[in-house]
Amino acid sequence: MISFGLKDFVDILLVALLLYYIYRLMKESSSANIFGGIIVFIVVWIFVSQIFEMRLLGGILDKLVNVGSLALIILFQEEIRHFFSTIGSRPGVNLMVQLFRSKKEKDKVHREDIMPIVMACMSMSKQKVGALIVMERYVGLSEIINSGDIINANVTQRLIENIFFKNSPLHDGAMIISHKRIKAAGCILPISHDTDIPKSLGLRHRAALGISQKSDCLAIVVSEETGGISIAEKGNFRLRLSAEELESVLAKEAAIS
């Protein structure tokens, strides 16, 4: 007699939630079709090996599963890294990380730390100078920083505007701000292939969304076409921000200490 209790229901529910989360992760990286193919293969493998008990074909599929596990790790290494970095950036985990930080590291973000960024964005917005500024939070961006030119300078309005000046060799890349300093400029960001992005948003917006999907950072975009200021965070956009709104978002959510 088969018994079905609360533990079995919870078990099935957790597996369903895990599969749904993995599907969303694959969809963000345009790997949804591959994920669907893997699910079909697993279902066929279960039917052949467990239900129909076809020994020859089941044995072949068993070998493919053993080899395929390693192949999947190699194929989806970026998605796996994103999966664990997303878990590590959850509020509860961040709270645990904060407990181990020194007092100096726990200093709050002050208005004088934010205003050079806000003023630079507003100035570039009026002049329709394109810009992409990424503010590191809990998840490190060392690989992104190393893809550009190291600057390691104080955050000032003049320096930000000079870097994104149209004739500057670094204006096309992203600027990374970490620990209240401009770490690098001209950095290369991963591009989001999300099909839901409005066509009116350009490559800078796709790059901002891409890095926000792989990290817990804040990505500020100044549009070269419209001068509009946007923020990408956790795979979502906040569009057409005013100076007050930008300052408010940075003050509340940007952990640049």
How confident is the prediction along the chain (257 residues), in pLDDT tens digits per residue?
A: 556 678 878 888 888 887 777 766 666 555 566 667 777 777 787 777 777 777 777 777 777 777 766 776 776 666 666 666 665 555 444 545 555 544 444 445 566 788 999 999 999 999 999 999 999 988 788 889 999 999 999 999 999 999 999 888 888 899 999 988 999 999 999 888 777 787 788 899 999 999 988 888 899 999 999 999 999 988 888 998 998 999 888 887 654 44
Give whole-number Cα distances, 229 to 5, 101, 127, 146, 224, in Å: 53, 33, 12, 26, 10
Domains of the chain are 6-75 (no CATH), 111-253 (3.40.1700.10)
Q: What pLDDT does residue 82 have?
A: 62
DSSP calls for 66-79: HHHHHHHHHHTHHH
Sheet holding 149-154, edge to edge: 149-154, 181-187, 174-178, 131-135, 218-222, 229-233, 236-238
Cα separation, 159 vs 101, whole angstroms: 30
CA-nearest of 76, 69, 68, 79 to 24 is 79
Give whole-number Cα distances, 25 to 28, 107, 136, 182, 214, in Å: 5, 33, 21, 30, 10
Start-to-end C-alpha separation, the chain: 60
Q: What pLDDT does residue 7 have?
A: 81
Any idea which residue has 């000079």 for tokens?
162
Q: What pLDDT does residue 189 have?
A: 93
- Dihedrals phi, psi of 219, to nearest 5 degrees: -115, 115
* Structural tokens at position 99: 């407990």
CB 188 within 8 A of CB 148: yes
Provide the whole-model pTM.
Answer: 0.64
Q: What pLDDT does residue 107 have?
A: 44
Pairs from 82-87 (Cβ < 8 Å, separation ≥ 24): 82/25, 82/29, 82/213, 82/214, 83/22, 83/25, 85/139, 85/214, 85/215, 85/216
Q: What pLDDT does residue 6 have?
A: 80
Q: What pLDDT does residue 102 have?
A: 45
Q: What pLDDT does residue 49 have?
A: 74
Q: What pLDDT does residue 35 have?
A: 67
Q: What pLDDT does residue 109 have?
A: 55
CB 182 within 8 A of CB 160: yes
Cα separation, 171 vs 150, whole angstroms: 14
